[in-house]
Amino acid sequence: MELTIQQGDLAFAVGKALGSVSNKSPMPLLSCLLLEADKSGLRVTGTDLELTTAVTVPATVKSVGKAAVSARHFNEVIRKVTKGALTLRLDGEQCEVRYGDGKGWSKFPTQDASEFPRVPELKAESRAEIAGDVLSRMIARSAYAVSTDGTRPQLAGVFVQGNGKSLTMAATDGHRLSRVTRKGDYASFGGEGVIVPGRALTALSRTAEEATSPVQVEIAPSRNQAAFTTQVGEYRVQTVVRLLQGPYPNYEQVIPKSNPHTLTVSRTDLLEAVDIVASHADNVTRQVRFVLRKDKLGVTSATELGAGQHEIAAEYTADDMDIGYNATYLIEMLKSIPTEKIALRLGTALGAGIVEPVGALSPADEEMLCLVMPLRLPDAV
């Protein structure tokens, strides 16, 4: 294997593929990147068997071949070397990179590339496409609510469901819920829906944000795998993910049908108040207290760490109410909402609260809803 490639092209491919490499793996090859040179250019692949990213970038290939190199070591060097053309060649059991018109070189030991896991071949049953900016935005507004509790693995992903009228992404960890919907014909996604792991969507979001073509989505007949493919300029990026197995809970059942009391408040003011007061919150529960009074909201916390209170103006005319919430959940939720004002719709101090943006989103054919469960206050009866 021998080729010439621009440092920026190689650094992009290596950086993207690195996102699918496991930090710890019992299989040494899974800590490697696979470099494959052929007539189409150079393809760089990283995988942990659950998530695979393969990036194809332009290169002038003198001789085809492949090599497996230590992912993090290779990435660290490539992102630092001099910009411009590099030559990369396989020399026995070493991968050699020369740069800077002969100024420097680096050599990397290789492992048996023939043993590297193959990129999954997916024969799609369902095919769809979605604009990169839309996909990135929907992920950002939903994926924060996925569960990190290993006892309910199906909640560690975002439920994606399309039909002839809309595309919906929803996530919940049992304490909070996010749901974002985009109007349009997305029937090709398949009506029953799939569960995409949160980690995969985090990696995919960054690529989708940079995409210069729509993201092509392919779902396997068994609905156990999905592939997301797009172009970022001259670069072809494909992410293949093993889907989580359901069933996903009927999250619509937990959304209250009638929460008659509404608190309307500045999102940035509330985010600031919660962030400051949360410094005094318990490290485990992260509880802060909302003190709702006519046209004002107080956010308080008192523990052995200290105490604090932050009061902000609000639109509220219902009965006085004190509610406990997890500050971390509130902060992540508020950061996902793009509007200046939000509405918190309440029933009782122990019932689920619905948080929605005030005013139309941009674009107007998208909607979002958040739900957060309260924490019982120490002095609650």
Q: Is the pLDDT of residue 380 over 70?
A: no
Q: Which residues contact 36 (CB under 8 A, 6 or more apart)?
A: 42, 43, 44, 45, 65, 66
Given 252, 278, 301, the domain boundary residue is: 252
Q: Which domain holds residue 336?
A: 257-372
**Number of other CB atoms surrounding residue 156 within 10 Å:** 18
Assigned domain for 381 exists = no
Q: Which one-letter amino acid corresponds to residue 80?
A: K
Q: Which residues contact 205 (CB under 8 A, 6 or more apart)?
A: 135, 136, 139, 140, 143
Q: Which residues contact 303 (CB under 8 A, 6 or more apart)?
A: 280, 281, 282
Q: What is the pLDDT, as a whole number, of residue 112?
A: 94
Q: Which residues contact 122 (CB under 8 A, 6 or more apart)?
A: 218, 220, 225, 226, 227, 240
Q: Identify whether residues 244 and 265 lie together within a single domain.
A: no
Given 88, 115, 142, the domain boundary residue is: 115
Assigned domain for 120 exists = no
Q: Identify whether residues 67 and 150 lie together within a single domain.
A: no
What gap in Å lies between CA 178 and CA 146, rounded to an integer?
9
The mean of the pLDDT values for the chain is 94
Assigned domain for 357 exists = yes
Q: What is the pLDDT, as a whole number, of residue 381?
A: 44
**Ranges 5-14, 15-24, 138-147: which has the least confidence:** 15-24
Q: Identify whether residues 169 and 67 lie together within a single domain.
A: no
CATH number at residue 323: 3.10.150.10
Assigned domain for 93 exists = yes
Q: Identify whether residues 229 and 322 lie together within a single domain.
A: no
Assigned domain for 341 exists = yes
What gap in Å lies between CA 130 and CA 230, rounded to an integer?
10
Q: What is the pLDDT of residues 108-136, one digit of tens each?
A: 999 999 999 988 788 888 899 999 999 99
Residue 192: which pLDDT band, with cuts at 50, 70 and 90? confident
Is the distance from CB of 374 to CB of 284 less than 8 angstroms? no
Assigned domain for 9 exists = yes
- Mean pLDDT for 355-367 is 92
